[in-house]
Amino acid sequence: MPAPLPPDTIVYAHGDFRPLAQASYALEERGVLFADGVYEVVRYDRGKPFALKPHADRLANSLDGIDLPGLDADEVADLSNELVKRAGHDHCKVYWQVTRGDLGPRDFLIQTPTDFKPNLTLIAYPTPPLQRDATALPPSGGAIIVEDCRWTKCWIKSLMLQPASLAKTAAHKAGAVEAIFEREKPGTTESHITEGSSTNVFIVRDGQLLTHPNDGWVLPGITRDVLLDAAQNELGLPFAEQTFTAADLKAADEVFVCSTTQLTAITSVHGQPIGDGQPGPITTAVNKAYTERILAD
């Protein structure tokens, strides 16, 4: 379990930079009462953000998706950069959270005042430095498959994370590193793999990368897009954005998951080995290409 941040850690809250000990939420904050907000996570290596503009653009889309006005996502990116400087972290992940704030007594009806400003919170969490290592394999572990019982607007990076948290916890109890969601979508008669509890999912079949289409049923992952671009333009790998089943996943030559802070090889599903039970050559090549992009000057 990660160590808690010291109380003197500099964060952004209540409109300025301040120690963590001086940041708090009102009891009737809508982010607390209704999970009424959205978030992003941006990685920094050597003090430099990776894919900062795509994260800001996705934040703007999420804000539009829940009709939360009053915030410029590009300004959030600038504040994120300033926080990293003030916190003195060369390597970290910065959590961005935007909530609708305290609008008075708890009410399902959203009544936004004319002078409304949302609550913005930024927290920088230190991370280990990323290293170049031509012989290194990506981190790996097992996965389980669980029902995707989340809401249907998965393209919004919402604070409503209880289903994902429960799924991740179930995976941990099973000795796995990720829970992979499976869902029967309206208008279909077949269940498909969508994404992980905090990741996008890729399979490798006959040398081709497959991942679920960016059709609203998965989060449009920034790392997902980077990996698809690297696979095509640097590795020359064929890929397709198409649905696949749990059976396809279990029969794949390789499986891996990715998010802002990780690419992890999935070497088994419910204890059944994927391939030879080790990170595969395509997963390893994609991971190296991703690392090189992050570390590029």
Active site residues: 39, 157, 195, 219
User: Are 43 and 49 a contacting pair, CB within 8 Å?
Assistant: yes
What are the residues whose beta carbons fall under 8 Å from the beta carbon of 177, sequence distance 6 or more?
139, 140, 141, 142, 143, 171, 264, 266
Location of structure tokens 């808690």: 4
What DSSP string describes 158-206?
BS--HHHHHHHHHHHHTT-SEEEEEE--TT-SS-EEEEESSSEEEEEET
Give the distance, in angstroms, between the CA of residue 38 and the centroid of all CA atoms in the same chain: 12
* H/E segment holding residue 248: helix 246-251
Which run of H or E residues covers position 124? strand 119-126
Separation in Å, CA 204 to CA 25, 134, 142, 281: 45, 21, 16, 10
Cα 132 to Cα 288: distance, rounded to the nearest angstrom: 8
Residues sharing a CB contact under 8 Å with residue 172, sequence separation 6 or more, in sequence order: none
